[in-house]
Amino acid sequence: MTAEATIARANAVNFEAKKDGCTQRQSGDWVIRLTVQAADLPQSVMRAAPGTRYVVALVQVDDNEQPVRIARDTEAASPAPRQDSPPVPHSAGAPTYAQRLGIACGKPAFWKFLKSRLPQSACIQVTNEDEAAVAVRFLLNVKSRTETAVGTEAGERARKMLGDFDNWYRGEAA
C-alpha cells in the first residue's frame, strides 16, 4: 500500500447514507443529495467548513447490509433524465445546529431523549415536534434555535446536546 493510501485509510470516515436525488447544474457539474441519519453523521463532517473537499467512495448495500455487485461505468456520464419537478435548492456546507435540531425535533427518539433531560419542574410535555422545539429552547436557554450559531455559547450547548443525543441514541439502539 502506498503512503498516500495509508494516510487516506487512516483518515477516512464512514457513515450510511441514502441517495435522495441527483441533478445536473447548467455548468455540467452534478449535485448528489444524500440523506444521513443524525446518529450516523460523523462530527468531523458536520463541523467541516463549507467548501471542504472530500474523496468519496460509495458502496451500495442490500437490505441485509451486504455489498451489491454492480457493473463498472465504462463510458462518460450521460445527461440526467429529464425531471418533472425543479430541483430543491441546496445550501452548500454542513447543516447548522439549528437545522440539525429542527430535524431531530421531528423524531420520536429525540422526544424521549429530551424528556429524560427535562426537570419535572419544567412542566413541558414532549409528544410532538412543536413540543420538542419548546423543550430544546428551554434546555438551551434560547428564544430561537437560530441563536445556536457556531462560536456562540448557545452553539456550544447545542453541539453538546446533539452529541449527547447521538451517544444516548447509540446506547438505546444497542
Higher pLDDT, residue 60 or 148: 148
For residues 45 and 94, is the Cβ–Cβ distance under 8 A?
yes
User: Is pLDDT at 76 greater than 50 in this prediction?
Assistant: no
Q: Which of 164, 170, 127, 162 is nearest to 47 (CA)?
A: 162
Beta bridge partners of 31: 23
**What pLDDT sits at residue 88?**
34
pLDDT at 146: 85
What percent of the chain is modeled with pLDDT above 90? 28
Residue 38 pLDDT > 70, yes or no? yes
- Taking residues 63-77, what's their average pLDDT? 65
- In percent, the amount of the chain with pLDDT more than 70 equals 83
Contact present, 38 and 162 (Cβ < 8 Å): yes
Confidence of residue 90 (pLDDT cuts 50, 70, 90): very low
> Is 172 strand, coil or helix?
helix
Show the cell assigned to 68. Answer: 451489491
Q: Which of 15, 13, 4, 12 is nearest to 170 (CA)?
A: 15
* pLDDT at 110 (0 to 100): 94
Distance of alpha carbon 156 from alpha carbon 162, whole angstroms: 10
Threshold 0.75, pTM exceeds: no
Q: What is the per-residue pLDDT for 1?
A: 63
Nearest to 154 by CA among 76, 95, 77, 98: 98
Neighbour tally for 165: CB within 10 Å: 22
d(CA 168, CA 110): 10
Report, as an integer, the average pLDDT of 115-139. 89
- Contacts of residue 29, defined as CB under 8 A and 6 or more positions apart, other chains included, come to none
Highest mean pLDDT among 47-61, 62-76, 93-107: 93-107
User: What does the alpha-carbon distance between residue 29 and residue 113 come to, in Å, rounded to a whole number?
Assistant: 40
Helices (H) and strands (E) in the chain, counts: 6, 2
pLDDT of residue 72: 62
pLDDT band at 172 (very low <50, low <70, confident <90, very high): low
